[in-house]
């Protein structure tokens, strides 16, 4: 499926689990024919159990429910939890699961990192929020800051077709085709132009990165990127630096209190190189930052699952939505500017930036790595990932991208 701009959509920004989970669970409770969910993580905590209850109730009233979890991100699900879903009639699938080796998860590459929901073919959710309690503020200091969007309108058709294409067919349907969905009138059209983009290991290897680069290349006033895991490719970094040199205000919101300490150390290697050309860097310090969003100029924005790091840009399966709408872009920018003003610390350029010999050597090595990583990534461990139906009486498997 080729990505295409589609006009006439409605979109709502959902910030953190406090806004995302009620919206998704209400949509599931109102579903009449179909619920399809893809998520990297599903934990057995208060969020996971609420999702389990909502989809089981939907299945009990005759709604087709399909859930795809990642075999690495959701590897701790117990047979009891999965069994209740399957017994309720939910089709539960796991992307490339594998057994642990000496207690460690070994299948770390080429994960299914998307976070998508489509209900009745009419409403979709796209973003970076998993089904886990650490997306709620009452989780404590390690609660994540994150974003998603709720969408209605013709863009949902594209997202719907995409999630259907990966489903295991049920009796009476063909692959990539769901049971008939009763669609209600869509109501008043929206005003947002939207583009659904994804990254896979076949035909869409760099789609998300290409759209980022094109937006930054065409920027005239401001680029604001907020991303949890930031170690992008050479070409994307080059576009940021070029934009800053031609007078565009380029700002980054990155993790200051990362959930994995190595993230800050690795990202910090890039600071001097970016700041030398005028890129401003803010570290979000209230709690771990998990968002993957950006705003360019007055009307371009993106929300999704893709980090700007080697895993997301060259290995994982990802999905973002890109939006052209001044009102939405302004709202997202205002929320990010609130973080900058109240919950971030600006990283000041070092006095001897770029002059220490070891810094120059480090930068040279890093950027040669970044320049060639996309070609190297193709030679990393690779196999045909499987989508398996766990806890089912059969071992159905289908190839996945």
Strand-pair partners of 321: 196, 303
Q: Residues 279, 285, 288, 294: what is their CA dihedral angle, to the nearest 10 degrees?
A: -30
CA distance 181 to 257: 44
DSSP code at position 204:
-
Longest dimension (CA), the chain: 69
Strand-pair partners of 320: 197, 304
Q: Which residues are catalytic?
A: 113, 115, 120, 290, 292, 297
In contact, 6 and 155? CB cutoff 8 Å: yes
In contact, 67 and 91? CB cutoff 8 Å: yes
Question: CB-based contacts of 366: which residues, under 8 Å, 6+ apart?
Answer: 269, 270, 273
Element housing 347 (H / E):
strand 344-347
Helix (H, G, I), strand (E, B) or coil at 315: coil
Element housing 72 (H / E):
none
CA distance 283 to 120: 40
The HSE-up count of residue 149 (CA atoms within 13 Å, CB side) is 32
């Amino acid at each position: 499926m080729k990505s295409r701009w589609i006009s006439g959509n409605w979109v709502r920004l959902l910030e953190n689990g406090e806004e995302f989970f009620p919206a998704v669970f209400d949509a599931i409770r109102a579903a009449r024919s179909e619920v399809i969910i893809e998520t990297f993580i599903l934990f057995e905590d208060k969020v996971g159990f609420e999702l389990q209850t909502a989809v089981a109730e939907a299945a009990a009233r005759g709604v087709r429910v399909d859930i795809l979890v990642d075999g690495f991100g959701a590897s701790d699900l117990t047979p009891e939890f999965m069994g209740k879903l399957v017994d309720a009639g939910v089709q539960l699938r796991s992307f490339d699961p594998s057994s642990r080796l000496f207690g460690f998860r070994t299948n770390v590459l080429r994960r299914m990192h998307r976070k998508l929901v489509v209900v009745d073919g009419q409403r979709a959710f796209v973003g970076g929020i998993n089904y886990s309690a650490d997306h709620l503020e009452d989780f404590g200091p390690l609660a994540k800051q994150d974003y998603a969007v709720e969408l209605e309108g013709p863009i949902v058709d594209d997202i719907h077709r995409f999630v259907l294409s990966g489903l295991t067919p049920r009796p009476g349907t063909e692959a990539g085709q769901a049971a008939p969905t009763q669609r209600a009138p869509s109501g008043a059209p929206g005003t947002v132009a939207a583009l659904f983009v994804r990254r896979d290991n076949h035909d869409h290897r760099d789609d998300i990165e290409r759209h980022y680069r094109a937006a930054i290349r065409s920027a005239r006033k401001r680029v604001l990127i907020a991303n949890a895991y930031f170690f992008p490719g050479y070409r994307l970094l080059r576009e940021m630096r070029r934009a800053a040199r031609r007078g565009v205000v380029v700002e980054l919101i990155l993790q200051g209190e990362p959930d994995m300490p190595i993230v800050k150390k690795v990202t910090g290697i890039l600071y001097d190189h970016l700041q030398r050309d005028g890129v401003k860097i803010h570290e979000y310090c209230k709690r771990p930052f998990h968002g993957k969003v950006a705003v360019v100029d007055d009307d371009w924005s993106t929300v999704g699952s893709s980090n700007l790091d080697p895993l997301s840009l060259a290995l994982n399966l990802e999905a973002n939505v890109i939006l052209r709408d001044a009102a939405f872009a302004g709202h997202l920018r205002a929320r990010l500017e609130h973080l900058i003003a109240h919950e971030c610390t600006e990283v000041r350029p070092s006095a001897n930036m770029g002059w220490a010999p070891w810094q120059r050597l480090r930068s040279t090595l890093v950027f040669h790595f970044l320049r060639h990583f996309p070609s190297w990534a193709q030679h990393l461990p690779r196999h045909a990932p499987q989508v398996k139906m766990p806890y089912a009486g059969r071992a159905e498997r289908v190839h996945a991208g």
